[in-house]
Structure 1
């Protein structure tokens, strides 16, 4: 039987058994619409309220500042589009970075077509925003800074507290896409001066199709979906009660296990990084060596094409990716890897491995050996590698 090693947790995670168990009654037993006034619906309404409070507490926020959505992409769209619309009388300038998720980048591109100006900040070779360049980019008409908490491809954690302080000092709204970071590392919205924050349930062992947008009290953001009065009239539509319950249960689980889980993931992550760097030549670790998400590893292998690498890894039972799941069908190299300075030919040979606490050291050893073997085979078929070896031998 072929072994199965799942290392694509940045794309999605397995829904935890306790999360599924918590959700089940709200499909078949307590299925009332939380907006209805009769007693039968009160259980659903109470569940929404209880889990809103659980999620708010995990951020150091108030329950009334949490608005449920269908996921991270919707939350990003809502935060950026609605803030732009609400504050355009003050200005039409937005600041973001070149390594954001496409839910942010494409939303900014959409706003550019509507007359807004967007500054896309460069990042350093580890993928971190340069604070001096952020300060220089601020203009009198800047209304929003949107910088992700941690990168979904290379795992680098941004200097969010410092970015929040800069935004706060200049009276500019600060939004962060925390889809990868929420539940993985501690986050406090007040300490970081965060005005809006996006997150998604399925990245932390919760269900798909549920997310939230944190909106600080006092932020004048407009409604995104119009219709009924749900989510305090800011996001119409019947609440996804089972999803909300599952999200809340996943957040409880993530918060209670965070320290222990992160320690194990870091141990596995570092073991894999050290083994691959030691045993595979001409490989680069992408992202900051230590200031990265506990479960994220991203390599670029020279003289290798990423798609072939992924297919051959899959043949060995290893589920991995070359970057964001939202762009997995693209033949273009990762915009994140290009932004940190990699040339196209090296960016094309990338491999993202995102693990979880259920993975083992034995699995990391197997993956490292598989990478060594597969990369070796692919290089032996590469004319570019052959030329490189000949030139090196001639020196």
Structure 2
């Protein structure tokens, strides 16, 4: 491909470095990255992705084996937060509140814990993806050194300029700049700063590009060519898309959620801690609104809140009830298309090239 615009040349060089035909990346969305979705993106020339937060080591290895033949992919983990503070009385109020939206919540529900992080990291080494990415913080130096020894790139998600600088100093090979428009969890290093420091991509991206010397990947609120072209013009070397792929049949999300994404205006999403205890952007559903009401108990920390809401979330999916569903959504959700993922990749890149030539 010839690239007449410097932004295209930069993006195509980055894609070539990672063995891609197109600088379009699937966002690693925990619980919404089945192998079928990555395979479709990879076969169209993009980068596949796995959000491995909730996966045991054996499941991480099985996922990698399922997609490996199609090309390069990334696997992402959350950096664990400190152990959450527990308050039995407050959790009892939360359980009573959540009982209005789903099955009764037993006292032990808040004890749920994520898989062992160290064991997951060992699985990442064994899986040998082209890229290991991080969110919510930085990997320990010893693990970063092991990745580099094996030729596995580390991409660190950052939501502020300060986080991007810290990631570069820690050895990240690229910084994934996550704007506040993004659906799903905010990647803030500190949970208590996730909302106060929610910066939009169009302001954050050029500031990070100017601050660091490593390549920058743009993510958040990009679901079609206009957003992709804008991100490349602002200095990104690639574009990562999450919500823009969720309506694709390969994503396999509940139809009520997929339909809700297609109807959503940007202002019909909101940041909430009501599902997991960590700030994320979802559709502004009835439950999300109720949980934000002045008389509602504040959510418990992650992962306590996630355990407390599990029964409600599972019942909502079973019943197809969007009003109680954990329906993560970026502000560009209404631009997501209900077409095969390969068609999304090919269409966005073709139109992006046209805009920049």
TM-score over 0.5 for the pair:
no
TM-score by length of 2: 0.31
Which of the two has higher C-alpha Rg?
Answer: 1
